[in-house]
């Protein structure tokens, strides 16, 4: 099978490509250049897509003895992932850029181009498992190492693209095992720190990035009763559930911490309240992508954060819309987040959160 291995310059993608070679596939490595203004070096362990990363990817390909190319997808990345990130925050929602990158770049732009060039599949270093059924259909499952599981950010890809995806690290017991394998293979990235945070915000200052792109937009911070308790420089810089950085001029009457309850982009207001007011047990979502056939209602587990827990729930499904009733309240659910439905380790589907409320409260 002809396989295009996405080489980010990190240890995971290098070992995944090595395993694809060991499996007997005809492997070609490609590094995606996603930033139009790449720093020469990464800032600590933040970010990715730097010139340093491209060099590390090339050295890994040399060790593996596979052809290596760099594909410039920076314009596509800017017009989809970065533009969506800015538009979602500006609209008062909380996006997950890793989900959008998997949707628009790795399993759309990259995979579509690979297929057009005659490749059968794309191989990445994501931690997730693919199980093939007797009828040839495939199911997406959590990785063996639940601490590294990335099925949450992959769920947006859908079954058609899953059919052409390889995740060789899905059965790895731990990241330490991946690093040990890289060292044994002579891959220089074996001890390279993981990247984290948002790849196109290399210094980790998300609010600064938003302010630079969207400008200063002063407004009010109010409590649930509408009383002004502070000011902000841009409602787009806040997210539901946020506690730090509110800079409130008036303490709460009970002295307890306050959290962001809602962002009102039209009024340019941020609404704050108590932790108890954050709790919701009904979550609505749309733009659903399904891996499995589900009935009008299904018992499942749902996850709304990449590193969050999956909670038992009842999901009611209507085409591309889903409404989830959680067995127990959850705090800090924000519009724009990805909602992933699981049956044990198996991914059922994914949708984007549009609203969250307490049961009995009108939508």
- Which of the residues are catalytic? 101, 199
Beta carbons of 356 and 340 less than 8 angstroms apart: no
Residue 154: name the closest of 311, 306, 300 by CA. 306
Residues 6+ apart with CB under 8 A from 74: 33, 34, 35, 36
Task: Report DSSP state, residue 191.
Answer: G
Which distant-in-sequence residues (6+ apart) come within 8 Å of 336 by Cβ?
Answer: 88, 91, 93, 94, 95, 96, 352, 353
CB distance 34 to 199 below 8 Å: yes
> Phi-psi bin for 241: left (phi > 0), alpha (psi -120 to 50), beta?
left
Joined together, the tokens standing for residue 216 give 């200063």
Is the four-CA dihedral 81, 87, 90, 93 of positive or negative sign? negative
Residues 6+ away with beta carbon under 8 Å from 24:
none
* DSSP-assigned letter for residue 173: S
CB atoms under 10 Å from CB of 326, counted, come to: 20
Closest by CA position to 223, among listed 254, 180, 177:
254
Report how far residue 307's alpha carbon sits from residue 152's, in angstroms, rounded to the nearest whole number.
9
């Amino acid at each position: 099978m002809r396989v295009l291995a996405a080489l980010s310059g990190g240890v995971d993608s290098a070992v995944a490509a090595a395993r694809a070679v060991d499996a007997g596939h005809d492997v070609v490595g490609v590094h995606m250049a996603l930033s139009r203004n790449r720093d020469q070096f990464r800032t600590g362990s933040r970010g990715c897509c730097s010139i340093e990363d491209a060099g590390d990817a090339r050295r890994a390909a040399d060790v593996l003895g596979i052809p290596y190319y760099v594909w410039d997808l920076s314009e596509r990345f800017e017009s989809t992932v970065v533009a969506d990130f800015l538009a979602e925050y500006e609209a008062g929602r909380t996006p997950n850029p890793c989900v959008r990158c998997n949707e628009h770049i790795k399993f759309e732009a990259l995979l579509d181009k690979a297929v057009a060039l005659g490749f059968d599949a794309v191989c990445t270093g994501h931690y997730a498992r693919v199980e093939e059924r007797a009828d040839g259909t495939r199911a997406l499952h959590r990785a063996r190492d639940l601490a590294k599981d990335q099925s949450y950010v992959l769920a947006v890809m859908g079954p058609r693209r899953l059919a052409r995806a390889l995740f060789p690290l899905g059965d790895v017991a731990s990241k330490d095992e991946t690093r040990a394998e890289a060292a044994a293979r002579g891959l220089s990235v074996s001890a390279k720190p993981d990247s984290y945070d948002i790849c196109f915000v290399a210094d980790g200052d998300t609010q600064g990035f938003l302010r630079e792109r969207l400008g200063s937009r002063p407004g009010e911070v109010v409590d649930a009763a509408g009383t002004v308790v502070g000011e902000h420089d841009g409602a787009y810089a806040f997210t539901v559930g946020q506690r730090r950085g509110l800079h409130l001029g008036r303490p709460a009457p009970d002295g307890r911490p306050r959290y962001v309850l809602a962002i009102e982009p039209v009024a340019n207001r941020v609404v704050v309240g108590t932790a108890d007011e954050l709790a919701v047990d009904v979550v609505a979502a749309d733009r659903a992508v399904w891996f499995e056939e589900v009935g009008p209602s299904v018992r499942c587990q749902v996850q709304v954060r990449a590193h969050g827990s999956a909670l038992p729930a009842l999901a009611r499904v209507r085409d591309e819309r889903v409404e989830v009733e959680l067995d127990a309240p959850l705090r800090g659910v924000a519009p724009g987040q990805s909602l992933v439905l699981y049956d044990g380790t198996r991914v059922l589907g994914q949708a984007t959160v549009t609203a969250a409320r307490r049961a009995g409260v009108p939508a």
